[in-house]
Amino acid sequence: MNRGDLYLTALSGLVRHIPTDVLLGEVDRLLPILLQAIKTPVAEIKSAGTLLASLDTLMVIEKNAPATLSAHLVTLIPRLLEYGIGALDDVRSCYTTYSINP
């Protein structure tokens, strides 16, 4: 795992615990990093927690700042479709295992 992957893993874990108002204040700086996390090909994902934390954070952004996220739909939709088509069972299993949502 290279240094960038380690930073991404750490940041994804931390972002999950940032209060929503703080997250939204930094959304323009965080969004490119979160999008990078979901650009990783399914076969190369080292940590399901990183992916899930990024997806959880993107859901918070979508609910609270949809206009910000809409500018990145060209990147976001194909990646989510790839996860849905290529690894739906794996993502569901990982989400069940690692999710902090009740």
- The 10s digit of each residue's pLDDT in 27-66 is 888 888 888 877 766 666 656 667 777 788 888 888 888 8
Kindly state the tokens that stand for 24.
């939204």
Residue 15 clears pLDDT 70, i.e. is over it: yes
Q: What is the pLDDT of residue 30?
A: 84
The whole-angstrom separation of Cα 20 and Cα 13 is 15
| 102 C-beta neighbours (distance < 10 Å), count | 3
Q: Read off the pLDDT of each residue in 13-24 and give the average, rounded to a whole number.
A: 83
Domain count, the chain: 1
Q: Read off the pLDDT of each residue in 90-94 and give the average, rounded to a whole number.
A: 61
Confidence of residue 23 (pLDDT cuts 50, 70, 90): confident
Structural domain containing residue 66: 3-98
Q: What is the pLDDT of residue 41?
A: 65
Share of the chain above pLDDT 70, in %: 67
Query: Nearest CA to 84 among 57, 60, 51, 53?
Result: 51
Q: What are phi and psi of 65, to 5 degrees?
A: -145, 60
C-alpha torsion sign, points 31, 47, 98, 92? positive
Contact 52, 89 (CB under 8 A): no
Q: What is the pLDDT of residue 9?
A: 72
For residue 83, which amino acid is it?
Y
Which pTM value belongs to this model?
0.68
Q: What is the pLDDT of residue 34?
A: 81
User: Which residue, chain included where needed, has tokens 């700086």?
Assistant: 29
Contact 67, 29 (CB under 8 A): no
